[in-house]
Amino acid sequence: MYGLVNKAIEEMICKYHDEDTWEKIKQKAELEDIDFFVGMDAYSDDVTYRLVGAACEVLGMPAHEILKAFGEYWVTYTAEEGYGELLASAGNSLPQFIENLDNLHARVGLSFSQLRPPSFDCEHTSEKSLDLHYQSTRQGLAPMVMGLLHGLGKRFHTEVDVTQTSFRERGDAHDIFSIKYNHSHADDK
Ligand code: HEM
Best of 67, 73, 74, 149 to mutate for ligand 1, by most ligand atoms within 8 A of CB?
Answer: 74
Q: How confident is the model at residue 183 (pLDDT cuts 50, 70, 90)?
A: confident
For the entire predicted model, the pTM comes to 0.96
Do 139 and 178 reside in the same domain of the chain?
yes
The total of structural domains in the chain comes to 2
3-state secondary structure (DSSP) of residue 133: strand
For 87, counting Cβ atoms within 10 Å of its Cβ (0-12 exposed, 13-18 middle, 19+ buried), the class is middle
Per-residue pLDDT at 186: 55
Do 178 and 96 reside in the same domain of the chain?
yes
Residue 178 domain flag? yes
Residue 148 domain flag? yes
Residue 84 domain flag? no
- Name the residue range of residue 98's domain: 92-182
Measured from the CB, is residue 179 less than 6 Å from ligand 1?
A: no
Per-residue pLDDT at 70: 98
CATH number of residue 104's parent domain: 3.90.1520.10
Q: What's the gap in Å between 157 CA and the centre of ligand 1?
A: 21
**Residue of the CA atom closest to atom 29 of ligand 1:** 148
